[in-house]
Amino acid sequence: EEKDQRRIPTKKNIQEALDWLVQDSWSGDSLVFYFSGHGLRVPENTEGDELDGFDETICPVDFTKEGMILDDEINSRIVRPLKEGVTLHAIVDSCH
């Protein structure tokens, strides 16, 4: 029912929103990432950073065509780029 194509939770739109969240943050800012939707876990690819051997994912509405967003990608888009003094709150309501 959403008319604005930028508001549909596709993989591309979610990725762009993740980048937007952190791009202009400064020390003292408090950011919130909230996701409520389907999540899965997939066998870990090559990083070797998962104790259980699985990567967790979130599933955009087009995940069967475009793929899921892995926890490693979320980390690289909204955690690693954080500037010193920025606080990030992540609330994820999904399986895995």
- Residue 3: inside a domain, yes or no? no
| Selected catalytic residue, list 38, 59, 89, 96 | 38
- Residue 66: inside a domain, yes or no? yes
The pLDDT of residue 96 is above 90: no
Active site residue 95: yes
pLDDT bracket for residue 40 (50, 70, 90): very high
Task: Report the mean per-residue pLDDT for the chain.
Answer: 93
Residue 15 lies in domain: 11-93
- Residue 67: inside a domain, yes or no? yes
* DSSP conformation letters of the chain: ----GGGS--HHHHHHHHHHHHHT--TT-EEEEEEES-EEEEE--S----TTSEEEEE--TTHHHH--EEHHHHIIIIITTPPTT-EEEEEEES--
Summarised one tens digit per residue, pLDDT across range 45-89 is 766 777 787 899 999 999 999 999 999 999 999 999 999 999 999
- Residue 18: inside a domain, yes or no? yes
Active site residue 38: yes
- Residue 1: inside a domain, yes or no? no
* Number of domain units in the chain: 1
- Give the global pTM: 0.90
